Amino acid sequence: KNEVEQSPQNLTAQEGEFITINCSYSVGISALHWLQQHPGGGIVSLFMLSSGKKKHGRLIATINIQEKHSSLHITASHPRDSAVYICAAHLNRDDKIIFGKGTRLHILP
Amino acid sequence: KAGVTQTPRYLIKTRGQQVTLSCSPISGHRSVSWYQQTPGQGLQFLFEYFSETQRNKGNFPGRFSGRQFSNSRSEMNVSTLELGDSALYLCASSLDRPANTEAFFGQGTRLTVV
């Protein structure tokens, strides 16, 4: 079983819909990152969280340390949000970083 | 402010050869991390360098190595290439520990081993 699990693997939605991507982890972490990867490979760091909630524009990220769970929400989704979203966890035990398998999001116009 | 630059962008090598990839971080960033991305395994952490010292290392064989120079530029080397080394190699730079500070990624080097 992977130590970082993402769901769903694939998500197709209509423009304007509210999107939620989930990330669960089974190990102690010091921080969790949400990354966005567009076709072609470039990765952008969206959020870095160790507790609570962060908001940037239409994107919101939350983390519940006790439940070992984080969510990424996109409000008023747009076709340009189509990308792969990846969560990444920094491990307490050795400071290494492990990644979820990613969620492929496709927003239809 | 220039972003993270990786060179080359694309590379084709033959099994058994070695390859060196380069990463120039954002000016002022002292931490450079390297990652391998494949369709089967996804993203995996290779190693992290800070002020010319390897600070952390992932679970990759010794064929994978790296170094960091005094100007924070970093190189990674893969010797005795195998077909399974075909991947997108990404580097990211940050001011300090990636767990504490935002990381900025390069566009990656796509390596194909034939």
pLDDT tens for each residue of A32-82: 999 999 987 789 999 999 999 999 999 999 999 999 999 999 999 999 999
Q: How confident is the model at residue B69 (pLDDT cuts 50, 70, 90)?
A: very high
Query: Which chain A residue shows the shortest CA-CA distance from B109?
Result: A41
pLDDT tens-digit series, residues B1-50: 679 999 999 999 999 999 999 999 999 999 999 999 999 899 999 999 99
Taking CB atoms and an 8 Å cutoff, what residues of chain A touch B111?
A: none
Indicate whether B74 pLDDT > 80: yes
| Residue from B34, B105, B111 to probe the interface with A (highest A Cβ count within 10 Å) | B105
Taking CB atoms and an 8 Å cutoff, what residues of chain B touch A90?
A: 98-99
Taking CB atoms and an 8 Å cutoff, what residues of chain B touch A100?
A: 42
β-pairing verdict for B109-113 and B10-13: parallel
Which comes out higher in pLDDT, residue A75 or A94? Answer: A75
pLDDT confidence of residue B2: 75
Taking CB atoms and an 8 Å cutoff, what residues of chain B touch A31?
A: 99-100
Asked if B110's CB is within 8 angstroms of A31's CB, the reply is: no
pLDDT confidence of residue A100: 96
| Residue from B43, B54, B91, B109 to probe the interface with A (highest A Cβ count within 10 Å) | B43
**How far is B74 from B4, CA to CA, in rounded Å?**
11
pLDDT confidence of residue B82: 98
